[in-house]
Amino acid sequence: MNSAIKTVPCEVLQHFERLEFKMGLESIMLTLTRANKLMQSKKPWELKKQNKMDDVYLILGACIETLRIVGTIMQPIVPSLSSKLLVDLPRMVPPSCRYLSPVLTIDITNKNMVNLS
């Protein structure tokens, strides 16, 4: 999941530059579907009950990173929805991580970015 999400911004931006908005949006939807399948198959809520917190952080981190990237690349298409998504992630995704940059990624193993209390 983590390696797949890293290729999505370039793929989507290439589609958008060629005015292939449908293909770009299909890539985004496929990415969101993968994140949803990850959550449903790994069931972090059950892993938390088993005290498997490292796994919980990895799963939630991957999904949060997916939402950050999707929210960022969707800004030109649906700015208000993207803005709402990115604003709703402030404690998990700091504002400095809401921009696309090849060098700026969130460490999905950082346990401090997911608050489970």
72 vs 55, more confident: 55
Q: Give me the residue spans of the domains in the chain.
A: 2-105
Q: Which 8-state DSSP code applies to residue 19?
A: T
Q: What percent of the chain has pLDDT over 90?
A: 37
Percent residues over pLDDT 70 in the chain: 74
Residue 103 scores a pLDDT above 50: no
pTM of the shown model: 0.75
Model confidence over 26-45: pLDDT tens digits? 999 999 999 999 999 999 99
Task: Please give the Cα distance from 95 to 72 (Å, whole number).
Answer: 11
CA distance 5 to 69: 8
Long-range contacts of 52-61 (CB under 8 A, 24+ apart): 53/111, 53/116, 56/114, 56/116, 57/108, 57/109, 57/110, 57/111, 57/114, 58/108, 58/109, 60/114, 61/106, 61/107, 61/108, 61/109, 61/110, 61/113, 61/114
CATH topology of domain 2-105: Isoleucyl-tRNA Synthetase; Domain 1 (1.10.730)
pLDDT tens per residue, range 64-99: 888 888 888 888 888 888 888 888 776 666 677 666
Q: CB–CB of 73/39 below 8 Å?
A: no
